[in-house]
Structure 1
Amino acid sequence: MNGQRLGYVRVSSLDQSTLCQLEDIELGRVFTDKASGKDTKRPQLEELLKFARDGDTVIVHSMDRLARNLDDLRSVVQKLTGRGVRVEFVKENLTFTGDDSPLANLMLSVMGAFAEFERALIGERQREGITLAKRRGAYRGRKKVLSTERAADLARRAAAGEPKAVLAREYGISRQTVYEYIRKADPKN
């Protein structure tokens, strides 16, 4: 193989470090996303998929860094290997080339299923924790972005016909949040 060695790194939140995932591995270029692995709509993953060429090798720390569900994992690996790109997973010590044995394909499926299962468990534990915190009175939800006065001003301006997108930009919130403040200001809506 004469192609480039490309790295893909993903962490779920902005404050997590990406440094240890492909440490001490010589790479020509690294694509780094700071986003959830729940789907493949990640800017650097999409860039990697466009950039990788026949003969390149994509190196990922572990399968769950590439995708958190089996369908996405298999799809990404097949897209890459279908174009002659090798995919190596360091933690699992597995390499996929497109000419893989039935055992290699089974390993991809089993390990991908474990990543999907782990993501489901994380979500379940999070929901359980929130339920318990609510019972104790310790969970109050996300802190309100706007003060009561600013929320009332936003609702008044929206009722006067100002565009929701303009209000969202001005107040530094999403349009969905604008609608939520409007709904809370006038429960009849």
Structure 2
Amino acid sequence: MKIGYARVSTTDQSLDIQRAALLAAGVAEEHLFCEKVSGRTADDRPELQRCLSFARSGDTILATKLDRFARSARDLHNLLADLDSRGVGFQCLDQAIDTTSSTGRLTLSILGAVAEFELAIRAERQRDGIAAAKNRGTYRARKSAIDVDRVRDLSARGMKPEEAAAVMGISRASVYRALATIKASSAAA
């Protein structure tokens, strides 16, 4: 049986292209696992875990791109070792890789190492760019998603951080960080 796995990193990205390619490759709709998550490891991706658990000996898991399936060479090797031990194959459509052959396994290992290298280079460039922007005085961090004024208001009304977090749909730690920012800004004033 063909089982499909599709992933995008953010909720504003679309899975449509990956879904269409997997369906065209013969994956049935009910055997398609999709998620919008940027997990660094397989453990951080619940739909991937469901996909892996669903696969049985003789099945093949399909993904459109290698970086959609594994986030590092180590992650890739761990996933493939698990699949291989259970008699489950893996195919990567865009790179024409099939782990049911020795050549496919070799190609996949090489591409996995290259993907990990590219990820490291991209992170390094990002750090360099941020450092250069800070040196020029033009760096602007991402705007906080936490409404500090609302945290201040809820706290002033006597609401506990746990309650404020639940009301705002954020973590308790985020509320505590906002309260620390409020306290620091009032102390500086």
Please list the CA deviations of residues 7-40 of structure 1 after superposition, one character each: whole Å capped at 9, or x if unmatched: 1111112222222235221112211121115211
Equivalent in the alignment of 2:166? 169
Q: Secondary structure at the match of 1:9?
A: strand
Distance change in 2, residues 1:140/1:115 (3 Å): closer
Note the C-alpha offset of 1:66.
Answer: 0.7
Give the TM-score normalised by the residue count of structure 2: 0.80
What's the counterpart of residue 152 of structure 1? 152
TM-score by length of 1: 0.80
The secondary structure found in structure 2 opposite 1:186 is helix
- Tell me the CA shift for residue 112 of structure 1: 1.0
Report deviation, 1:136. 4.5
Between the two proteins, what is the percent identity of the paired residues? 37
Deviation at 1:49, TM superposition (A): 0.9
Bigger mean CA deviation after superposition, 130-139 or 118-127: 130-139
Other-structure match for 1:39: 41
Quick one: which amino acid aligns to residue 51 of structure 1? F
Determine the C-alpha separation between the residues in 2 that align with 1:11 and 1:165. Answer: 31
Contact kept, 8 Å, 1:5 with 1:26, in 2: the verdict is: yes
- 2:75 aligns with one of 66, 72, 95: 72
Task: Provide structure 2 residue ranges, at least 5 long, that are not aligned to the other structure.
Answer: none
Cα 1:147–1:178 shift into 2, 3 Å: closer
Tell me, what secondary structure is at the counterpart of 1:20?
helix
Alignment RMSD, CA only? 2.4
Counterpart position of 1:6: 3
Q: 1:10 and 1:181, CA in 2 relative to 1: closer, same or farther beyond 3 A?
A: same
Once the two structures are superposed, what CA deviation does each residue of 1:140-175 show, in whole Å capped at 9, x if it has no partner? Answer: 432453153x33334446xx6x54322101123221
Q: Could you say which residue in structure 2 is the equivalent of 1:139?
A: 140
Deviation track 1:68-96 (CA, whole Å, cap 9, x = no partner) reads: 20111111111112111111112222211
Mapped contact 1:9–1:32 kept (Cα < 8 A) = yes
In structure 1, the gaps of 5 or more residues are: none
Distance 1:45 1:57 in 2: 14
The 2-side partners of 1:114 and 1:121 are apart by 10
2:9/2:37 contact within 8 Å kept: yes
CA 19–182 in structure 1, closer or farther in 2 if over 3 Å, else same: same
Q: Could you tell me which residue of structure 1 aligns to residue 26 of structure 2?
A: 26
Check whether the contact 2:6–2:35 (CA below 8 A) recurs between aligned residues: yes
